[in-house]
Amino acid sequence: MKRILFFFCLIGLINQVNAQNITLNIGDTFPNFQYRGIFQKENRLSGLKGSYVLIHFWSSWNVESREMQLEFIPIYSKYKEKKFKKGKKFYIISVSLDEEQRLFDLATKKDNLPWNSDYCDFKVWNSDLVLKSGIKRIPSNFLLNPEGKIIAININVEELEQLLRGF
């Protein structure tokens, strides 16, 4: 009886671990979440349906992820108002893995990103959004099509521009 009980407890633990390590793939729908937009207004990812969206994971303490965001600025400026064949506009949402509000605020002020759309719950790698997306490193990103489906993962600036140019 003890062995059977142990077996069921073990299966339960394995299922809990697997549920927490959800990994998103191309073709999956990105989980909906709330983020701050311009003027600190609360928005939902679902409100951007009909547009292409890049969700970029970064942190104030990760130089590579911050540099990548800065590289996205010309692409964003070029495509933010573009009417695509199958989409309205292009948006970027920056998802920070910061733990301290002060460091997050300093980085966002210094980088002065034009898209003004960000998300940070200050839980670092334990953030619900990080756990749901299954990212293991930063920088990481997901490009979503107008239906909210993932069409590219961890692309660089050149790949992003090539994709947007084709839409």
pLDDT of residue 43: 85
What gap in Å lies between CA 83 and CA 123, rounded to an integer? 36
Task: Give yes or no for a contact between 118 and 36, defined as CB atoms under 8 angstroms apart.
Answer: yes
Rounded CA separation 22/99 (Å)? 22
Q: Which residue has the higher pLDDT, 104 or 36?
A: 104
Bridge partners (DSSP) of residue 36 are 42, 118
Give the Cα-Cα-Cα angle 138, 44, 56 (nearest 5 degrees): 15
Average pLDDT over the chain reads 87
**Cα separation of 80 and 88, whole Å?**
9
Domain at 25-166, CATH class: alpha beta
Tens digit of pLDDT for each residue in 60-87? 999 999 999 999 999 999 999 999 998 8
Which residues face 57 on adjacent strands? 95, 140
Q: What is the pLDDT of residues 12-67, one digit of tens each?
A: 444 333 334 558 999 999 999 988 765 567 888 999 999 999 999 999 999 999 99
Angle between helices 157-166 and 63-79 (to 10 degrees): 20
